[in-house]
Structure 1
Amino acid sequence: MTPPGLLRGASVDFRWRPVAAAWYLGVGDEIAPGTSAFIRKLTVRRAWAKKGVSTELLSFARAHARALARPYLRLDCVADRLGLRDLYEHFGFAVHSVIRKGTVSFARDELQTTQ
């Protein structure tokens, strides 16, 4: 299901309808440079929550990482956001490591794109 306002993972809607989601998909990686695509700032509008938007974006990102011949898709998540972490784990992500930035812990998750 692709909601109005979602253009291949972008947050741009040229028809000026409400945007369903926003994110950044790039190739920079702190863990092992050159090995992964990286999702940053994935957010879904509450009106589109639990309607498959996150799964569609994650599926697109996995396919994009494969097309770039990147063996991993990675993302960071605040470690105590258990509902969000469950979503990622259900999709197939596994915790690579946990890091602290200031007083906040972040789970660094990864998904093998070759599976």
Structure 2
Amino acid sequence: MGDAIEWAGDPVSFRPATGEHTDEVLSVLDEAAGWLGGRGIRQWPDRFPAAWVADAIGRGETWLVDVGDKTAATVTLDWADALWADVGGTAGYVHRLAVRRWARGLGGVVLGWAEDRARERGVDALRLDCVAHNRSLRDYYEGRGFAHRGDARWLGLPGQPPDEVPVLWMSRYERPLAAR
């Protein structure tokens, strides 16, 4: 899948997650959720239920990112998102991008990889979202060339029981893809 990627002098590789990797995916997500929660950012549940990632893993849309021989991150790249139903065009959608704390800074590499996959698929844009109150993440996306495409109302955090569902405002970001 393209040129060799390095980060901090070590090779970076992307492998599709399978059902056998569910615990590994959840471990990365839970570490990131704990870190966010410790900073008062409520973007994800404290712990991800396995059922919440199972469909994307089954469709081959969830990836594990290795640096050397260690799992450093996970990301889901899919091709539809209900949060964007009111926006036209074709896109790849980045979801559940999480990086282990020891690999801080790897997110840009993962976003670059996702952009390359989306471009290979021939879509118009790469899109993602985050809770509107996460200003530091919004600044990060804007610094990476993603344009704010408005905020949208969404019910609940992923995996929450229906009786505990809050209303969230999600900031949507898009990066148009030009052919390289």
- The TM-score with structure 2 as length reference comes to 0.54
- Report the number of matched residues: 111
Q: Is the 8 A contact 2:94 2:128 kept in 1?
A: yes
1:81 CA displacement: 1.0
The 2-side partners of 1:78 and 1:6 are apart by 28
Q: What is the root-mean-square deviation in Å for CA atoms of aligned residues?
A: 2.5
Inter-CA distance 91–98: structure 2 relative to 1 (3 Å threshold): same
TM-score (norm 1): 0.81
2:65 and 2:137 map into 1 onto residues whose CA distance is 24
| Aligned counterpart, 2:144 | 91
Q: Which residue number corresponds to residue 133 of structure 2?
A: 80
The superposition leaves residues 46-102 of structure 1 with CA deviations (integer Å, 9 ceiling, x where unpaired) of 1111x3x11001111111111111011001111111111111111100111201224
Number of the residue aligned with 1:21? 73
Show structure 1 runs of 5+ residues with no match. Answer: none
Larger helix proportion, structure 1 or 2?
2
For 2:131 and 2:137, the matched residues in 1 are separated by 9
Structure 2 unaligned residues grouped into runs of 5+: 1-5, 16-62, 156-166
Taking the TM superposition and a 5 Å limit, the aligned residue runs for 1:5-44 are: 7-8=13-14, 10-11=63-64, 18-30=70-82, 31=84, 32=87, 35-44=90-99
